[in-house]
């Protein structure tokens, strides 16, 4: 039982991070404001979670300009996709275990 | 499980029991968390790819307008697809149909806007934009085709083609909002093809496709997602 728990990645312990990864798993890329809207969190909160995922190299950041306004978009990296899929699988396995 | 008799194994077995109990309760506490984690992830994926603020009540109202519209077209305007359609009748029908479409669109947009603000969601968000662009293409194609039919004096096919292209629009839209749109879209396409051949049934098919199917779809959405 213990190894199953170990498979749950530490980076995904937070709901916000899990939410960010879920959104990026099904969208090619997403900008900061759209993420903020889906997750219903403050700027600072979202930024710190994004930074954490970025330092794990789970997400990539692209900074562009829309007119004069800076626009930051985020996308999932291959490494992030794999970690996310593994985490999802581990969660499903854990739940299956209880059903028995 | 617990042995109350004093034996050499007592402490060992009880400590094993204790440990397994702790693991168990650790799991039990987290179980609900895992399930809600997955539910949250699923809803996040859905909310970020599909526009889920489309109002079910709006869809039902569109169906009611359509039924009323068929009644007015037949009884008041005097349209009968089994008779020859005069150019004058075509114009009146087009004007009335266009008005009905405008009222329907405004109703759905207003009610959806209200629902989106209730969900603390921006109305003009990426999911709505995607839905809008993908729905617009079959709808514009159908609209232009119908104007060409009018110009070429083929009014018999206006109603059947409106069903076919509306069905195509719903089928496409089903990927960007509620999946149930796809099934209704396929039914509308089938009805449209049917009355392209049997043009005498076009008004009846339109009443089913735009009236009854919208009401059924709206009721389904209401009970499935909104209640």
SS3 state of residue A25: helix
What Rg value do the Cα atoms of chain B yield, rounded?
28
Smallest CA–CA distance from A25 into chain B, residue: B45
Q: Do A88 and B38 touch (CB under 8 A)?
A: yes
Chain A positions touching B37 (Cβ under 8 A) are 15, 18, 91
Q: In what order do the strands lie in the sheet with A69-76?
A: A30-31, A69-76, A59-66
Q: Do B31 and A88 touch (CB under 8 A)?
A: no
Measure the CA–CA gap between B146 and B156, rounded to whole angstroms. Answer: 10
pLDDT of residue B194: 98
Report the share of chain A in percent with pLDDT over 70.
91
Measure the CA–CA gap between B147 and B131, rounded to whole angstroms. Answer: 24
Q: What letter does residue B208 receive in the DSSP assignment?
A: I
Of A26, A39, A91, the CB nearest to B49: A26
Query: Is the model's pLDDT at A14 over the cut of 90?
Result: no
Of A1, A22, A91, the CB nearest to B45: A22
pLDDT band for position A78 (cuts 50, 70, 90) = very high
Query: Is the model's pLDDT at A92 over the cut of 90?
Result: no
Tell me the mean pLDDT in the region A67-73.
Answer: 87
How many Cβ pairs closer than 8 A exist between chain A and B? 55
Name the residue among A49, A47, A59 with its Cα closest to residue A13: A49
Bigger pLDDT: B184 or A71? B184
Give the pairing type, strands A69-76 and A59-66: antiparallel
Chain B positions touching A95 (Cβ under 8 A) are 31, 34-35, 38
pLDDT per residue rounded down to tens, chain B (227 residues):
343 334 444 444 444 444 444 455 455 546 777 788 888 888 888 888 899 899 999 999 999 999 999 999 999 999 998 888 898 999 999 999 999 999 999 999 999 999 998 877 788 888 899 999 999 999 999 999 999 999 999 999 999 999 999 999 999 999 999 999 999 999 999 999 999 999 999 999 999 999 999 999 999 999 998 88
Chain A positions touching B51 (Cβ under 8 A) are none
pLDDT of residue B17: 45
Question: What are the φ/ψ torsions at residue B152 (nearest 5 degrees)?
Answer: -90, 10
pLDDT of residue B120: 77
CB A24 within 8 A of CB A99: no
Smallest CA–CA distance from B32 into chain A, residue: A95
- pTM exceeds cut of 0.90: no
CB under 8 Å to B86, separation ≥6 — which residues?
A: none
**One-character DSSP codes across B23-89:** HHHHHHHHHHHHHHHHHHHHHHHHHHHS-----HHHHHHHHHHHHHHHHHHHHTS---TTSPPPHHH
Question: What are the φ/ψ torsions at residue A60 (nearest 5 degrees)?
Answer: -110, 150
Measure the CA–CA gap between B123 and B110, rounded to whole angstroms. Answer: 10
Chain A positions touching B31 (Cβ under 8 A) are 94-95, 98
Token pair listed for B179: 């999946």
Q: Do B34 and A34 touch (CB under 8 A)?
A: no
CB B24 within 8 A of CB B83: no
Smallest CA–CA distance from A15 into chain B, residue: B37
In whole numbers, what is the pLDDT of chain A averaged over residues?
86
The interface predicted TM-score (ipTM) is 0.80
pLDDT of residue B5: 39
Q: Do A19 and B37 touch (CB under 8 A)?
A: no
Measure the CA–CA gap between B193 and B203, rounded to whole angstroms. Answer: 13
A69 burial (CB, 10 Å; 0-12 / 13-18 / 19+) is exposed
pLDDT of residue B8: 40
Strand partners, A76: A59
CB A17 within 8 A of CB A99: no
Q: What letter does residue B225 receive in the DSSP assignment?
A: I
pLDDT of residue B190: 98
What distance in Å separates residue B105's CA from the closest CA in chain A? 26
CB A17 within 8 A of CB A11: yes
Chain A positions touching B19 (Cβ under 8 A) are none
Measure the CA–CA gap between A59 and A50, rounded to whole angstroms. Answer: 8
List A residues 28-67 in contact with B (Cβ-Cβ < 8 A). 30, 34, 37-40
């Amino acid at each position: 039982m213990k190894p199953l728990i170990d498979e749950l990645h530490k980076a995904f312990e937070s709901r916000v991070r899990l939410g960010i990864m879920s959104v990026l798993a099904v969208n090619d890329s997403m900008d900061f404001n759209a993420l903020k809207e889906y997750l219903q969190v403050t700027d600072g909160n979202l930024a710190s979670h994004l930074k954490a995922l970025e330092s794990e190299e789970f997400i990539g950041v692209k900074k562009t300009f829309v007119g004069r306004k800076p626009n930051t978009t985020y996308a999932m990296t291959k490494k992030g996709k794999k970690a996310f899929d593994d985490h999802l699988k581990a969660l499903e396995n854990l739940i299956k275990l209880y059903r028995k | 499980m617990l042995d109350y008799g004093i034996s050499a194994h007592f402490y060992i077995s009880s400590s094993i029991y204790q440990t397994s109990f702790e693991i168990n309760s650790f799991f039990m506490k987290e179980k609900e968390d895992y399930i809600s984690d997955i539910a949250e992830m699923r809803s996040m994926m859905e909310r970020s790819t599909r526009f889920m603020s489309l109002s079910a009540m709006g869809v039902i109202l569109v169906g009611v307008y359509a039924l009323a519209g068929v009644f007015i077209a037949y009884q008041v305007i005097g349209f009968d697809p089994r008779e020859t359609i005069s150019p004058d009748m075509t114009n009146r029908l087009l004007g009335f149909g266009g008005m009905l479409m405008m009222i329907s669109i405004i109703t759905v947009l207003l009610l959806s806007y209200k629902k989106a603000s209730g969900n603390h969601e921006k109305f003009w968000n990426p999911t709505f934009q995607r839905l809008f662009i993908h729905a617009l293409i079959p709808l514009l194609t159908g609209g232009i085709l119908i104007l060409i039919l009018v110009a070429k004096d083929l009014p018999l096919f206006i109603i059947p083609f409106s069903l076919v292209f509306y069905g195509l629009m719903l089928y496409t839209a089903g990927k960007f909002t509620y999946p149930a749109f796809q099934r209704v879209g396929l039914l509308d396409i089938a009805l449209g093809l049917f009355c392209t051949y049997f043009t005498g049934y076009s008004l009846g098919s339109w009443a089913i496709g735009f009236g009854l199917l919208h009401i059924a779809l709206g009721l389904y959405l209401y009970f499935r997602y909104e209640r």
